Structure 1
Amino acid sequence: MSFMTREPSGYERALDLFEGVVVGVPEDAWGLPSPCEAWSAADLLGHVIGGQLEIIALIGGEEPPDAADAPGRLVGGDPVASWRRARAACAAALTPEALATPIPFGGFGELPLRDLLDTYVLELLVHAWDLARATGLPVCLDPDLVHRASATAQVIGTTMRKEGLLGPALTPPRGAGELTRLLAFLGRDESAFPEKGEPA
């Protein structure tokens, strides 16, 4: 049975959510700034494409590509096609044997790749929000995925911040919902990138 027919986690749903934003980005919006400092919308997509390629490299025990320096170069001339190629290649690599492969997970030891992909919901969900806000698209984030992402953030967020992968946490407004609290924990200021139709 392949991973894509097994759905205990939100990984595949999070991929679908992210792709739904990618396909909606206007052609002239890929150069717009994103909530990720110094990254354009294209850089942001390149970063997530790099994440798919990193998973493939981890399965093969190879050095993953560097998606931190000018990640927009991974997007090429057709952002949607580049994303879909990377996603399809990653999906093809997720054999039952690969999903059972122990993968180093920061300071937490090793996890089977299957479990590591559960944590990747955080990456996909937050960057779907980032890309939507950068390009003026509405996006509705599945509350269940938000909850899963929030749980992951609480486990790994402090380590990521120490490694310089996250900015300082912000204080969410009183009574804020789980998504706003998650974004604030990750250093995102919703008011700096209001949803289309909201006051800036």
Structure 2
Amino acid sequence: MKKISELLDAAAGSALPVIRGIDDSRLGDPTPCAEYDVRALAGHLVQVVVNFTALGARHDTESGAAADAVTGDWRERFGEKTDALVAAWAAPGAEEGTAGARGFPARTVGHMVLGDLTVHAWDLARATGQDFEPDAAVVDELGPALEGMAPKAREAKVFGEPFPVRDGASPFARVLALTGRDPDWQPPRA
């Protein structure tokens, strides 16, 4: 079983080129997450990384609306923040016990951020016309982890209803569908 920090490092390695590839002219474009445009989803992902870094280090998370994280050299800061995320989850004991106010097992919390980092990187890549290929070990870990979380995640409106996938769909397409996404989503044509 791979450590969460190793998986997060691989997921960040797949996400960072997507973040760096987002042109400012695309920030208002729609994403597979209907409630977010590219700017809002990128800002949400930055906040996710910050909050789960705190959870990995057993600190309180920031609550309330975050300031616009998509300003200045935000793409470079995203890389720094994912480095901090990996470091927090690589610390001795990070995967032991519970994390967060809800007392979830720490490894489950690690799976949550792994899922967000990977799936939202795909969302952003799809929305901005970029390629995205997640790390195979990350996908192998996410499949069963998100399957176990799915009922509660749907109850909390974090996941949509599962999207039907064709026979022979890739493991990552199945992960996307599990979260309620259409793995074949394309941005609307102008």
| TM-score interval, smaller chain | 0.7 to 0.9
In 1, the alpha carbon distance for the partners of 2:177 and 2:37 equals 20
C-alpha change, 1:105 and 1:56, in structure 2 (3 Å) is closer
Q: Give 2:137's aligned residue.
A: 144
Which amino acid letter does the alignment assign opposite residue 170 of structure 1? F
Q: Give 2:159's aligned residue.
A: 166
Does residue 41 of structure 1 match 2:38? yes
- 3-state DSSP class of the match of 1:10? helix
Which amino acid letter does the alignment assign opposite residue 136 of structure 2? P
Q: Give 2:74's aligned residue.
A: 79
Unpaired stretches in structure 1, ≥5 consecutive residues:
1-5
In 1, the alpha carbon distance for the partners of 2:90 and 2:184 equals 42
Compare relative contact order (CA 8 Å, sep 6+) and give the higher one, 1 or 2: 2
Q: Give 1:31's aligned residue.
A: 28
Which residue among 9, 12, 24 is the counterpart of 1:12?
Answer: 9
Which residue among 156, 160, 182 is the counterpart of 2:175?
Answer: 182
In 2, the alpha carbon distance for the partners of 1:21 and 1:134 equals 10
User: How many angstroms does 1:116 deviate by?
Assistant: 3.4
RMSD of aligned Cα (Å): 3.0
1:63-74 aligned within 5 A: 63-66=61-64, 73-74=68-69
User: Percent identity, aligned pairs only?
Assistant: 24
Partners of 1:122 and 1:149 within 8 A in 2:
yes
Q: Give 1:3's aligned residue.
A: none
What TM-score, normalized by structure 1, do the two folds share?
0.77
